[in-house]
Chains A and B, each alone.
Chain A
């Protein structure tokens, strides 16, 4: 089975520009998550989709970030306009059902991430 795929693997943009990150979850996985790791910090939750619906977007830093998952398949995360502090690695993850069932039967699978550098 193909894993979680993220595009691009690297992106370098100037402050004020727009960048769109894409995530293709594992086929059949209804749950899709975005996380971010800023240099020197821990990986932090951004938001969670179930199919095309946003279940929790409490981790989104501000309104410059927009995540979509039209049709409940792949997801995009747009940053507009990008700021220097947005630099980091953006991870996408997916699971078939809730990964927090206490059974371990639906583990969370991460992609390799997109490294975003804003100059």
Chain B
């Protein structure tokens, strides 16, 4: 079983729609959860971090965490063409590790 799983996509949504990105993880002791956005040829850029169950909102982005289901998601409201990128889910293993375990990423395309 892969440690962090994401649908590779591509996920295509029209401009203005809600994009929903999903991620599951296998390590039940994982403590910290991150969403990174990566444009082609560029560095991964942190857009959201979440550490406790529930929702966390930041502008058009909402991260949702459900530790019982080992599931974390990212919602992007009012999607814009500039949101087109690969979105990477990353978690830290249990034990306060300093390493991130990444999923392969989901490629999102927002069509004008």
Contacts and interface: CB of A to CB of B under 8 A. Distances in A.
Interface in B7-42: 31-32, 34, 36, 41-42
Interface string A38-53: 0001111100100000
Contact of A110 (B41, B44, B49, B97): B44
B98 A55 contact: yes
B23 to A, nearest CB: 12
Contacts of B102: 42-44
Interface residues of A, number: 28
Nearest to A115: B41
A41 B41 contact: no
Contacts of A48: 98-99
B104 interface: yes
Per DSSP, are chain A's interface residues mostly helix, strand or loop, or mixed? loop
Interface in A69-119: 91, 98-100, 102, 104, 107-113
B43 interface: yes
Contacts of B46: 107-109
Interface of A: 3-4, 31, 33, 35, 41-45, 48, 55-56, 58-59, 91, 98-100, 102, 104, 107-113
Interface of B: 4, 31-32, 34, 36, 41-46, 49, 51, 88, 90, 92, 96-105
The 8 closest A-B pairs by CB, nearest first: A110-B43, A45-B99, A43-B102, A104-B49, A42-B102, A42-B104, A102-B51, A110-B44
